[in-house]
Amino acid sequence: MATAVLDNHQQHVTHNHMLMKKPLSVDYLQNNGLIDPKQLIGEALHKRAESVDHELCEPGDEDTFYVADLGEVYRQHLRWKKNLPRVKPFYAVKCNPDPKVLRLLAELGTGFDCASKGEIEQVLAMGTSPERIIYAQPCKTNSYVRFVKNAGVKQMTFDNADELYKIAKLYPEAELFLRIMTDDTSSLCRLSMKFGAAMDTTESLLAVAKNLGLNVVGVSFHVGSGASDPLAFYKAVRDAHTVFQQAADFGFSMRTLDVGGGFCGDTFEQMAGVLRDALDEFFPAGNGIDVIAEPGRYYVATAFTIACNIIARRTVEDPTLDGKGYMVYINDGVYGNFSSIMFDHQHPVARILRSNGRTLYDTPSASACSAGEGVEYSVWGPTCDGIDRISESIRFETILDVGDWLYFEDMGAYTKCSATQFNGFSNSHDVIYVCSEAGAKALLNIYSATQADVACFKALKESPDAKKFPNAARWYKHIATFEDEFASLTGDASKPYTVYGPDVAEVTLNPAKAPAAADDDDDVDLFGSDDEDDDEAARVREERLAEYRKKKEAKPKTIAKSVVTLDVKPWDDETDMVALEASVRSIEKDGLVWGASSLKAVGFGIKKLQINLVVEDDKVSLDELQEQIQDFEDYVQSSDVVAMQKL
């Protein structure tokens, strides 16, 4: 599977994270100065789609492909740390085991929730410590239990007595979490139907564990994937507290509460608020209990966009409407990356990426029309199964044809990891990585060697002293991994190392030890005093300091600014979104500049307004701004700050 990294700016290595032996990508594409996530994603989609001639291309050239913004994963992590600082995330690998996502999260210090031997092996292969893994599968395969014992992964869950007997036989040193049943009736995917001990069984299970000499260290629960009821967390934390008290009565030394997953981006702040309150009530800070969670879709759902090619079109006459519509068939479907339609209750929304030779990404023409407008389409997958339908009805103002491209946003959770090869179609698709956050780029060390690196590398006789020059030593070690490819790296190989760096720099490589300076009495006044020289030097120094202070005072102070993304939610699907946006933009303040906006699907036909703005921190209070937005109560139900970055 080919991959590409968009953004190849050269940078000095100044952090202490492990260098990749070689770039994980086949291709490196230039960023061209783009920093806005939408621009980065749109440029990547455009370049790939534009390069495909569906009439002449080879089989597979027009395949579905993803664009993944690793900066979005980074922003979600910052959002998590802001709202749940006490809760350490253990990313649910099953949601999307993309290797770059896992690497970034590992560098960010998260743990990992694994449910199989394969997932554990993938995480351990990155050099992750076994202590950062929880085997969160209450019903485990015997051989997998033996595997994790040999791998040193101790933390695991259970919810029944049979599993306790298995663990006692195969891995009695394991550190166990009792998974309890929760009220997950409001979740997209209910898990308590399959896992979790009922509250009337927890005491008896703890008694069995005690009799077997096992070590129960915590309680876990899961309110269901895609939970929509924040109060579910409160009830579950309250029940977990009861089990902690029961465990204490049996003499167990409990140390960790695992609050599971179920976090959604749209309701995260509300859920986090309920969870914080519940933790403060039942597990207050300072009581010695660590709190972890198992978020999955929260981190990756919005980070991935998929592009699909229209491979066929069928005209459908509709005499009742005195017109016609079309069935369009794309090269992906419910047996592929859209399997979440079937088992995860998702409703991906098609948008037009490219049609009639024009790229329409993130324009009004890319989105669907209102009912009764434009041309009606149904969107189908490529297999022979009649259930392979992605959209029953959607309307566009554009006439779509074979070779055009559609794109679908928010496709990072439970998509490519569950694709099949039904009908012989591939389940392996290219991922083009972009990165809209400098912090994520630094952690992943997205860097490509050039002839400038080669020239400097060859000029050095040996690796710099790692104790004195740790960053230079790491750079040297990294460039050494490209030695077999020196001739093919970009740049001018004929340039000497001296042309790189500051123009006035004088560099001596591996200098010999300088000889001791000879005695020189010329500057010494044997019969006078050097106080005069000292006084003159002091006077000159004071003059220079005064001049520096004067320049510093005259220099304009830096104005602190932030780029903010706001979500503004309407009351229902009948809310006039044009009027809502106009009301929001009518707010004028000194230090406030409104930016680009778009409508994001929430569900059930409802869309929210997502709008960017730049604020001067000293002049604009976000709390006051949100209160002003809330005053438009005819249109606005709520508003949330979903992202903020200092300029």
Comparing CA positions, the residue from 539, 558, 305 lying closest to residue 413 is 305
| Local structure of residue 317 (DSSP, 8 states) | E
Average pLDDT of the chain?
Answer: 83
Comparing CA positions, the residue from 296, 337, 112, 97 lying closest to residue 188 is 296
Which tokens sit at 330? 């794309």
Domain ranges of the chain: 72-299, 304-434, 448-499, 561-646
Which tokens sit at 155? 């933390």
Is 384 assigned a catalytic role?
yes
**pLDDT tens digits for range 318-337:** 666 556 899 999 999 888 88
What residues contact residue 219 under an 8 Å CB cut-off, 6+ apart?
177, 178, 179, 180, 240, 243, 244, 247, 254, 257, 258
pLDDT above 70 covers what percent of the chain? 80
* Residues 357-380, mean pLDDT to the nearest whole number: 92
Q: SS3 of 408, please? A: strand
Q: How would you write 426-494 as a 3-class SS string?
A: CCCCEEEEECCCHHHHHHHCCCCCCHHHHHHHHHCCCCCCCCCCHHHHHHHHHHHCCHHHHHHCCCCCC
The pLDDT of residue 520 is 47
304-434 shares the fold of 72-299:
no
* Residues 85-95, mean pLDDT to the nearest whole number: 96
Letter string b/e over residues 454-485, b meaning 16 or more CB atoms within 10 A of that residue's CB: bbbbeeeeeebeeeeeeebebbbebbeebeee
The pLDDT of residue 563 is 81
Q: CB–CB of 182/224 below 8 Å?
A: yes
In words, the CATH class of domain 72-299 is alpha beta
pLDDT at residue 510 greater than cutoff 60? no
**pLDDT tens digits for range 275-308:** 999 999 999 999 999 999 999 999 999 999 999 9
* Residues 86-109, mean pLDDT to the nearest whole number: 95
CA distance 604 to 602: 7
What residues contact residue 493 under an 8 Å CB cut-off, 6+ apart?
451, 454, 455, 487
**pLDDT tens digits for range 382-399:** 988 888 899 999 999 999
pTM (global) more than 0.85: no
Q: CB–CB of 331/63 below 8 Å?
A: yes
User: What Å distances lie between residue 120 and 104, 126, 132, 333, 427, CA to CA?
Assistant: 17, 10, 11, 29, 22
Which tokens sit at 609? 């307004």
**Range with lowest mean pLDDT among 185-194, 268-277, 433-442, 566-575:** 185-194
What residues contact residue 185 under an 8 Å CB cut-off, 6+ apart?
229
The letter for the amino acid at 438 is A
What residues contact residue 575 under an 8 Å CB cut-off, 6+ apart?
635
- Other C-beta atoms lying within 10 Å of the C-beta of residue 589: 14
* Residues 417-446, mean pLDDT to the nearest whole number: 82
Catalytic residue among 384, 417, 435, 456: 384
What confidence tier does 507 reach under pLDDT thresholds 50, 70, 90? very low
- Find residue 536's DSSP bridge partners: none
pLDDT at residue 417 greater than cutoff 80? yes
CA distance 105 to 77: 8
The pLDDT of residue 643 is 80
* Higher local confidence (pLDDT), 139 or 229: 139
Which tokens sit at 113? 């929730």
What confidence tier does 454 reach under pLDDT thresholds 50, 70, 90? confident
The pLDDT of residue 30 is 38
- Other C-beta atoms lying within 10 Å of the C-beta of residue 203: 14
Residues listed for the chain: 647
Pick the CATH number of 304-434 from 2.60.40.10, 2.130.10.10, 3.40.50.300, 2.40.37.10: 2.40.37.10
Comparing CA positions, the residue from 236, 151, 154, 146 lying closest to residue 191 is 236
CATH of domain 561-646: 3.30.70.60
**pLDDT tens digits for range 308-317:** 999 999 998 8
What residues contact residue 318 under an 8 Å CB cut-off, 6+ apart?
324, 325, 376
What residues contact residue 204 under an 8 Å CB cut-off, 6+ apart?
161
Comparing CA positions, the residue from 338, 298, 329 lying closest to residue 311 is 329
* Residues 186-213, mean pLDDT to the nearest whole number: 81
| Local structure of residue 119 (DSSP, 8 states) | H
Q: CB–CB of 262/187 below 8 Å?
A: yes
Q: How would you write 51-91 as a 3-class SS string?
A: CCCCCCCCCCCCCCEEEEEHHHHHHHHHHHHHHCCCEEEEE
Placement of tokens 């534009």 in the chain: 50
Q: CB–CB of 265/249 below 8 Å?
A: no
- Other C-beta atoms lying within 10 Å of the C-beta of residue 312: 12
What confidence tier does 64 reach under pLDDT thresholds 50, 70, 90? very high
pLDDT at residue 613 greater than cutoff 70? yes
Comparing CA positions, the residue from 416, 418, 409, 439 lying closest to residue 104 is 439
- Alpha carbons within 13 angstroms on the beta-carbon side of residue 596 total 8
pLDDT at residue 552 greater than cutoff 90? no
Placement of tokens 């997998």 in the chain: 144
